[in-house]
Amino acid sequence: MTVIESRAEARAPRSNSWARLFIDHLRKKGRALAKKIIPGGLVQEVSRYRSLRKPERSLYLKLKVKNSLTLNSRRVPSGARSFVFVCFGNIMRSPMSEALFREAIARRANAGVKSCSAGLNATPGKGAHPWAIAAAQDFGISLEGHQATLLTRAMVDEADAILAMDVQNQVEFLSRYPDAAGRLFLLGAYSGTTSRAIEIRDPFFGNLDETRRCYRLLQTCTQNLADSLDLKSTLSAATSNGGR
């Protein structure tokens, strides 16, 4: 081997190392530029889409289109009396929805109305997120003792209405309980701000302020949901029973 050849071999690994560093640098720059150009909501949308199983992705796109065309804003029957609020992990949105809904019902008539919350991917026993606990205090609600519950077939069968927070919740629910499609609704249909159902985004990917904004929206939706129910007969029946 000549001196020139040995020097070339000695330089090769170093050149390859520099090339890798340069490529890594370009990738980082590209990701940083993409974050500036591509809206954060679109990035999250792609992430949600990829997190779904392949058979669920087409349903996700179908529901997204229906939602944009105001075809996904069905309302709960006014005679419903058993409710389950569902989200991803049952540590932020659904437990607060349950608490707010119970307050709204208690101001009207709570006789015969049942509600609970659960997560489609909950870790049973897990506590509420710290942001959830802090934000709930602004509404006079404590989530300190909350423990996450995983949605079960029994809960689905006993419910008159299952209230989901977003399209991802809908897709995951329908893939597991297709027979209960007629009892599944988006809680955002009660936002009162548009003719279509609003997806109530998971504040888990935001911060405390986003959690507070989410909870204000949940308060509006749960109050409107309670207002939509026909509780007069329930109230009169309860009054009648109490007078005997």
Q: Could you tell me which of 100, 91, 164 has the C-alpha nearest to residue 132?
A: 91
Question: What confidence category does residue 235 fall into, taking pLDDT thresholds of 50, 70 and 90?
Answer: very low
pLDDT digits (tens, 9 = 90+) for 78-120: 999 999 999 999 999 999 999 999 999 998 866 689 999 999 9
Question: What confidence category does residue 238 fall into, taking pLDDT thresholds of 50, 70 and 90?
Answer: very low
Q: Tell me what pLDDT residue 226 has.
A: 95
Question: What confidence category does residue 243 fall into, taking pLDDT thresholds of 50, 70 and 90?
Answer: very low
How high is the mean pLDDT of the chain?
83
C-alpha 7/C-alpha 15 separation (Å) is: 12
How many DSSP H helices and E strands does the chain contain?
9, 4
Candidate from 22-26, 124-128, 147-151, 216-220 with smallest mean pLDDT: 22-26
C-alpha 105/C-alpha 103 separation (Å) is: 5
Only one residue has tokens 């949940």, namely: 218
- Contacts for 66 with CB less than 8 Å, ≥ 6 apart: 72
Q: CA of 242: how far to CAs of 3, 89, 218, 239, in Å?
A: 105, 40, 33, 5
C-alpha 180/C-alpha 29 separation (Å) is: 47
Active-site residues, by number, are: 87, 93, 202
Question: What confidence category does residue 50 fall into, taking pLDDT thresholds of 50, 70 and 90?
Answer: confident
Q: Report the half-sphere exposure of 158 (CA within 13 A, side-chain side).
A: 14
Number of neighbours of residue 147 by Cβ within 10 angstroms: 14
Q: Determine the distance from the C-alpha atom of residue 196 to the mean position of all C-alpha atoms in its chain, rounded to a whole number.
A: 17
- Does the pLDDT of residue 202 top 70, yes or no? yes
Please give the residue that has the higher pLDDT: either 47 or 2. Answer: 47
Contact yes or no for 115/101 (Cβ under 8 A): yes
Q: Tell me what pLDDT residue 236 has.
A: 47
Provide the percentage of residues in the chain whose pLDDT is more than 70: 75
Please give the residue that has the higher pLDDT: either 147 or 8. Answer: 147
pLDDT digits (tens, 9 = 90+) for 123-145: 999 999 999 999 999 999 999 99
Question: What confidence category does residue 207 fall into, taking pLDDT thresholds of 50, 70 and 90?
Answer: very high
Q: What is the pTM of this model?
A: 0.76
Q: Could you tell me which of 186, 181, 212, 180 has the C-alpha nearest to residue 198?
A: 186
* Top mean-pLDDT range of 37-46, 64-73, 181-190: 181-190
Q: Tell me what pLDDT residue 34 has.
A: 44
Q: Could you tell me which of 170, 162, 158, 151 has the C-alpha nearest to residue 72?
A: 170
Question: What confidence category does residue 166 fall into, taking pLDDT thresholds of 50, 70 and 90?
Answer: very high
Question: What confidence category does residue 66 fall into, taking pLDDT thresholds of 50, 70 and 90?
Answer: confident
Contact yes or no for 232/204 (Cβ under 8 A): no
Please give the residue that has the higher pLDDT: either 72 or 100. Answer: 100
Q: Tell me what pLDDT residue 240 has.
A: 43
